[in-house]
Structure 1
Amino acid sequence: MKRRMINSLLGVVLVMVVVFCVPLALFEKRTIESAAQDQAGAEAVRLLGIVENRIAAGEPVNGSVLRGQVTDGLYAEVRLPGREVIRIGTPPTGGSPLRAVETGGRGESVLVDHSRQDVDHEIGTMLLMLGVVALLAVQAAVALAVWQANRLARPLNDLAETAERLGSGDPRPRDRRYGAPELDRVAEVLDSSAERIARMLTAERRLAADASHQLRTPLTALSMRLEEIIATEDPETVKEEAAIALGQVERLTDVVQRLLTNQRDPRTGSAVIFDLDEVVKQQAEEWRPALRGAGRHLVIEGLHGLEAVGTPGAVAQVLATLIENSLMHGDGTVVVSTRIRGSSAVVEVEDQGPGVPPELGARVFERTVSGRNSTGIGLAVARDLAEADGGRLELLSQRPPVFALFLGRPVEER
């Protein structure tokens, strides 16, 4: 591209030089010749006037008198009737001279020659000056073309590098502008694409992290049910555990569907009125075996018969996250209590463990923030699930740890 730009600009300049210099050279050549011819004519008229005046005054007319009257570089001949020709100056050489002849009323005449060699020398000097100007113009054009080509090539190379970085998975926008509207437009589009790609990659990584965390809990519960089935030989127990496992599979399917739906549109919700006791009881049954295995207990307290507005699967997932956190990071009995606060139905999960470190506080809901060397994703995902249906998840107490899930209630019950 640089070579094309240089060649194009150089070609344009050469054409302009030819179009401008050739007519100018012809015009200047004619001007120089015309000026030389006019000089010879004017000299002949002046010299004839001097001769006529001296003849009229009766003064002598000879070479010694007229020699000082002729401009240097010109050759003149004065012819008087009956006398020898008076020659002044050196006859010109180097081609036919530019000649002017003037004749007086008494038969006298004056011939003046302007040397062709002098005219040709002046024309050559003019052509040399034009050539130098043309050469300087070409050199300036080449320098300008090289500068302009480099000026445009650098942004293009930079844009190509940006596009290559985007293709290699580095979506950081560079926010560079180059002072050219077209190039700046391309840079803006690339930066916008980089931001979109960055958001898409962030969303994909977040989906992967959320999926790994949200699927782990129901898979763990399902694994415990299958272990119960393997450990028992009682057909009734097997049937009961299989039914529970089937319900967990359905909830697992719901988790997957909810993940995909939230990935397409995080605001999408399927809030309904549901029985809060049923969700709390179901989660208690799923996590009691794991707590018993750790020598701990889970109890349910508070009001019964509460109805709430939300997505049962999402609420179950939030409660599962809170109970799992109590199992992993807490101690003692896990208490799940339900109550009413204002227009909200509240589910609290509390244990007797060391609680949330003081330096963390409410930051436990931020992604990657954890005080127990875990992923730091669970509570962040739980808060997102709660807010998706218009609820909220809060930390009421750091020690002992008390997490509260606030859900809307049906209007008729308020």
Structure 2
Amino acid sequence: MRRRLIQSTLAVVLVVIAVFGVSLVIVETRTISESARERVESEAVRLASIVDSRLIVEQRVTAEFLRDQVAEDRYAVIRIPGQPPIEIGSKPDGDVISASAPGEEGETVTVQEPRSSVTREVGRTLLIIGLVALLAVIAAVLLALRQANRLASPLTDLAETAERLGSGDPRPRHRRYGVPELDRVADVLDASAERIARMLTAERRLAADASHQLRTPLTALSMRLEEITLTDDPETVKEEATIALTQVERLTDVVERLLTNSRDPRTGSAVTFDLDDVIQQQLAEWRPAYRSAGRAIVSSGKRHLQAVGTPGAVAQVLAALIENSLMHGGGTVALRTRVTGNQVVVEVTDEGPGVPADLGSRIFERAISGHNSTGIGLAVARDLAEADGGRLEMLQAKPAVFGLFLSRTPPQKSRDDGGRQTIR
């Protein structure tokens, strides 16, 4: 690109110099020639006037008198009737510029100048024009180099940015070059880099959330299948199979919920449901794990409470809190339900050492964990709660008490200006 830009700029300059330079040379040559002829004619008229004055006063003219009146590079001949011609200067050889002027006393004055003087003046003019043209070419080349570097370097930089995006490095560079068109391309590449970064982050987040959220249902399903393989009682097999099918339904709900949240975490399918059903389902699911760990899980508080939310999402939030207590807490885990204002609260607490002080304010951040776990369980649980219009908070650090707040009022449907139903 640099070479093409320099060549095109140089070609334009050479064309301009050729068109205007040749015209200027022709005009200047003609002007110099006309000026030389006018000088010679003026010289002849001046000498004729001098000769007339001399003849009127002294009736004669001498060469000594006129020699000082003629320039050294000119040759003059004065022809006076009745007198021999008077020659002043050396007669030039070759081509000359000649002019004659008659006098009032009948004399004739002829002045000649060698054309070589005109040629020398034309040569000097051509030299000046050539030097100016050369300076113009040099200036054009330098300007073309500067413009080529100004355009080629940003293009190379933009190509490197595009290559980085293609190689999986979506960091925007935020470089601008002072050229509106190139800055527009840089804006588009930076915006694309930010979109790619968001998409990669969402994909990684979905993978991490799926790994974490599917682990518990799969573990529970494996336990039920193991119970089936270890028993010959048809009733037990039927009961365990029914529970396994419930686990499969919950697993399906978890997958659908994860996919929905990956597209838009605000899209919830909140309904009014019986909170006892979700709590009892979680107790039945986690009791074998707590029994294996030599611990207990119980529930207390008000019964038959109606809450607004997505049952599957609420179950996942409670599962995250129960699993967190199993891994990091101690003693008996209690799920207690209560009512505060227009909200239902499910508190999950245990008898363990609680949350360390340095993690208290960051417990719901991703990748924050005090015992080498994934650190995403509570973060996902909070996102699920907020997607249904609820909230998840840590009410107490020692011992740890987490509270899930859910609304008791069904969502109100209204119509927007486009006639569509919206939930408030």
Deviations 1:322-357 (A, max 9, x none): 111111111111111111111111111111111110
Q: Give the structure 2 partner of residue 91 of structure 1.
A: 91
Aligned partners of 2:146 and 2:21: how far apart in 1? 25
Aligned partners of 2:218 and 2:4: how far apart in 1? 65
Count of aligned pairs? 411
Deviations 1:301-336 (A, max 9, x none): 111111100000000001111111111111111111
2:272/2:410 contact within 8 Å kept:
no
1:346/1:407 contact within 8 Å kept:
yes
1:92/1:116 contact within 8 Å kept:
no
Aligned partners of 2:92 and 2:135: how far apart in 1? 36
Q: Give the structure 2 partner of residue 268 of structure 1.
A: 267
Aligned partners of 2:277 and 2:48: how far apart in 1? 136
Q: Give the structure 2 partner of residue 79 of structure 1.
A: 79
Structure 2 spans left out of the alignment, 5+ residues: 412-424
Aligned partners of 1:410 and 1:23: how far apart in 2? 93
Q: Give the structure 2 partner of residue 291 of structure 1.
A: 290
Aligned partners of 1:127 and 1:349: how far apart in 2? 100
Which letter does structure 1 place at the counterpart of 2:196? Answer: I
Aligned partners of 2:16 and 2:284: how far apart in 1? 92
Higher mean alpha-carbon deviation, 218-227 vs 324-333, is at: 218-227
* Pairing 1:134-145 to 2, within 5 Å after superposition: 134-145=133-144
Query: Taking structure 2 as the reference length, what is the TM-score of the superposition?
Result: 0.95
Q: Give the structure 2 partner of residue 35 of structure 1.
A: 35
2:63/2:88 contact within 8 Å kept:
yes
* Pairing 1:261-340 to 2, within 5 Å after superposition: 261-340=260-339
Q: Give the structure 2 partner of residue 385 of structure 1.
A: 384
Following TM superposition, by how much is the alpha carbon of 1:226 offset from its aligned partner in structure 2, in angstroms? 1.6
Spell out structure 1 runs of 4+ moving beyond 3 A: none
Higher mean alpha-carbon deviation, 97-106 vs 195-204, is at: 97-106
Deviations 1:229-254 (A, max 9, x none): 22333221121111011001001001
Which letter does structure 1 place at the counterpart of 2:77? Answer: E
Q: Give the structure 1 partner of residue 14 of structure 2.
A: 14
Following TM superposition, by how much is the alpha carbon of 1:279 offset from its aligned partner in structure 2, in angstroms? 0.3
Q: Secondary structure at the match of 2:358?
A: coil
Aligned partners of 1:305 and 1:370: how far apart in 2? 35
Q: Secondary structure at the match of 1:353?
A: coil
Aligned partners of 1:321 and 1:386: how far apart in 2? 12
Aligned partners of 1:228 and 1:90: how far apart in 2? 137
Higher mean alpha-carbon deviation, 164-173 vs 229-238, is at: 229-238
Q: Decide whether aligned partners of structure 1 residues 32 and 411 sit closer, same or farther in structure 2, where only a CA change above 3 A counts.
A: closer
Following TM superposition, by how much is the alpha carbon of 1:410 offset from its aligned partner in structure 2, in angstroms? 3.3
Aligned partners of 2:97 and 2:220: how far apart in 1? 118
2:308/2:410 contact within 8 Å kept:
no
Following TM superposition, by how much is the alpha carbon of 1:59 offset from its aligned partner in structure 2, in angstroms? 4.6
Aligned partners of 1:135 and 1:48: how far apart in 2? 47
2:55/2:105 contact within 8 Å kept:
no
2:111 counterpart of 1:112: yes
Following TM superposition, by how much is the alpha carbon of 1:188 offset from its aligned partner in structure 2, in angstroms? 0.5
Aligned partners of 2:383 and 2:143: how far apart in 1? 60
Q: Give the structure 2 partner of residue 156 of structure 1.
A: 155
2:408 counterpart of 1:409: yes
Deviations 1:275-311 (A, max 9, x none): 1000000000000000000001111111111110000
1:362/1:395 contact within 8 Å kept:
no
Aligned partners of 2:161 and 2:186: how far apart in 1? 9
Q: Secondary structure at the match of 1:279?
A: helix
Deviations 1:15-73 (A, max 9, x none): 11011111111111111111111110011001001111111112531111100011231
Deviations 1:157-203 (A, max 9, x none): 01111111111111111111111111111111111111111111111
Q: Give the structure 1 partner of residue 52 of structure 2.
A: 52
Aligned partners of 1:229 and 1:396: how far apart in 2? 41
Which letter does structure 2 place at the counterpart of 1:248? Answer: Q
* Pairing 1:82-231 to 2, within 5 Å after superposition: 82-93=82-93, 95-231=94-230
Following TM superposition, by how much is the alpha carbon of 1:411 offset from its aligned partner in structure 2, in angstroms? 5.8
Which letter does structure 2 place at the counterpart of 1:329? Answer: H
Which letter does structure 2 place at the counterpart of 1:54? Answer: R
Query: Taking structure 1 as the reference length, what is the TM-score of the superposition?
Result: 0.97
1:102/1:110 contact within 8 Å kept:
yes
Aligned partners of 1:386 and 1:226: how far apart in 2? 31
Superposed CA RMSD in Å reads 1.2
Which letter does structure 2 place at the counterpart of 1:125? Answer: R
1:9/1:141 contact within 8 Å kept:
yes
Which letter does structure 2 place at the counterpart of 1:4? Answer: R
Higher mean alpha-carbon deviation, 75-84 vs 313-322, is at: 75-84
Q: Secondary structure at the match of 1:299?
A: strand
1:354/1:399 contact within 8 Å kept:
yes
Aligned partners of 1:354 and 1:334: how far apart in 2? 13
Following TM superposition, by how much is the alpha carbon of 1:265 offset from its aligned partner in structure 2, in angstroms? 1.5
2:271/2:410 contact within 8 Å kept:
no
Q: Secondary structure at the match of 2:203?
A: helix
Q: Give the structure 2 partner of residue 3 of structure 1.
A: 3
Aligned partners of 2:207 and 2:286: how far apart in 1? 25
Q: Give the structure 2 partner of residue 245 of structure 1.
A: 244
Deviations 1:139-159 (A, max 9, x none): 111111111111100010011
1:37/1:98 contact within 8 Å kept:
yes
Following TM superposition, by how much is the alpha carbon of 1:105 offset from its aligned partner in structure 2, in angstroms? 3.2
Q: Give the structure 1 partner of residue 358 of structure 2.
A: 359
Higher mean alpha-carbon deviation, 39-48 vs 77-86, is at: 77-86
Q: Secondary structure at the match of 1:69?
A: coil
Which letter does structure 1 place at the counterpart of 2:188? Answer: V
Q: Secondary structure at the match of 2:68?
A: helix
Q: Secondary structure at the match of 1:365?
A: coil
1:307/1:410 contact within 8 Å kept:
no
Following TM superposition, by how much is the alpha carbon of 1:360 offset from its aligned partner in structure 2, in angstroms? 0.9
Aligned partners of 1:20 and 1:139: how far apart in 2? 17
